[in-house]
Every structure is written in structure tokens, then in C-alpha cells.
Amino acid sequence: MPTIESKKRNSILGSIALLAGFGAVALSAIDVPGLPSVNVGRWTLPFALALDLGVGALAIVSLLLAAKSLRTGTELPGAALAVAIAAGGIFYFRHRTPPAPPSRPTPTAAPGVATPAPPKAIVKAPAHPAVAPSVSDATTAAKNATRQSAAAAAALARQQQLAALQDAKAQFAQEQARVLTALKADPTYQQAKARNDAADLQLRDARLSFRAGDPNLVATSQTALAARDALNQFVANAIANDPAAAAAKARLDALMQNQH
């Protein structure tokens, strides 16, 4: 009984492999659009080729099982294997890459005969005439250079004048302070200073007591102004009579006049 079951199994597998082999032959011979590709490990195979390989593997398995049985049962598996091989051959010849056309031989020169090289054409570069600078351009450049030099010189002179003016102011202030310090010991200056201070005090009191335009406020203002003018004139005379202070004031006045 086990042997009979084995023969039936082999016959069924062989029949399945044979029928599938005919289908593989048909698909290998005829291009059927829309058939999916089959992924086998790292390879992606067309459906017809995958079917061929499957039929071949099934036929081999069926043939091995039939060879182990006690009776001959290898006809159908052998036929299925042959059909699978035929289907694979049809697929190969229909889908192989056509051979590349033979390359044409490159003509070679006869031995001993040198092929003369074509003469090289001598190309002369066009001569560019020298362009003389325009007279107007040269004149403009010279004017611009002159203007720039004049502007730089004027800026330098201005800086020098400002520096000299600042120095003259500082020197005159120093001489004026020296003269005022010396005048503090002069009795005449002390009297003029006292009259000026008293007139200023009376003017402040009058501004608090009288309205603007009042005759008393006007008279007090005139008295304070006269006392201040007298004090300033006394100081101016002292500076004019001092050689160093007079020289410093003359230098300052000259520089200030040059600024205007």
C-alpha cells in the first residue's frame, strides 16, 4: 500500500509539472502585457521566467520521488523537465540582447609611407591700434586732481587755524587771569569793584520793588550799567598796559578776524 500511494503522488506531481510546463512554453513564446514580476531573493524575474524555473524545480522533485519507487513512474516528470527546459530556451532566445554590430576596420596607412600632416593655418591676431587719450579726458583728470589737492590743503589749513585759535584763547585766558590777580591788590580796582557790586545789589532790589518802566528802576539800571562799564574799562586798560596780556589779546583778535 505505501508503494501505490507513492506512485499516485508522483504521477500527480508529474502531471501538474507537465501542464504548467506547457503554460510556461506559451508565455515564453508569446508576450502577454500586464504580467507581474516576481521577486526571488535579490533578483526580480519576469513572470514567464519565474514560471519556467518553478516548473523545472517541480519536475526535478517529482523525478527524484519517482526514482525511489519500485515501479517505473518517471515518464511524466521527465517530460515535464524537458518541457521546462524548452520553455527556458524559448524565453532566452526571444528576450536576449541582440549582438552589437561589428566595428568597421580602421584604415591604416601602408607600411613605409608616411602620411603628410595637413599644413597648419597661420592666424594673425588683429592689430589693435593704440588709442590715444582724449585731450578732454586729460584736462578733466587734471582739474579733478587740482580740486582734490586744493580741498585737502584747505582742510589742513582749517585744522591748523582752529588749533591756533584754541591755543590763543587758552593763552589769553591765562594772561587775563594773571592781570586780574594782580589788580586785586590795587586800591583803585577795589573801589571800582565795590561800586559795581553795590550797584548790582541795588538793581536786584529795585527789580523786586518797582515794575518794568518805572523811573526809579530805569535810573538804578543805568547806574549799575555805568558801574559795570567802568570796572570793565579799568580791566581792559590794565590788560592793554601789560605787554604779555596785550600781545595775547592781539593774537586772539587777529585769529578771530581771520575766521570771519
CATH number of the structural domain spanning residue 255: 1.20.120
Q: Give domain status of residue 164, yes or no.
A: yes
Classify 34 in phi/psi space as left (phi over 0), alpha (psi -120 to 50) or beta. left
State the Cα–Cα distance between residues 217 and 219, nearest whole angstrom.
5
Residue 90 sits in the same domain as residue 165: no
Q: Give domain status of residue 139, yes or no.
A: no
Best CA proximity match to 195, nearest among 238, 242, 232: 232
pLDDT tens digits for 155-198?
998 898 899 999 999 999 999 999 999 988 899 999 999 999 99
Residue 161 sits in the same domain as residue 83: no
The tally of domains found in the chain comes to 2
Name the strand (E) or helix (H) holding 61: helix 47-68
The pLDDT, as a whole number, for residue 102 is 63
State the Cα–Cα distance between residues 234 and 67, nearest whole angstrom.
151
Residue 156 sits in the same domain as residue 79: no
**Domain range for residue 65?**
2-95
Query: What distances in angstroms separate CA 13 from CA 1, 63, 70, 75, 83, one per listed residue?
Result: 19, 9, 17, 12, 14
Residue ranges of the chain with pLDDT lower than 70?
A: 1-11, 34, 69-73, 97-135, 260
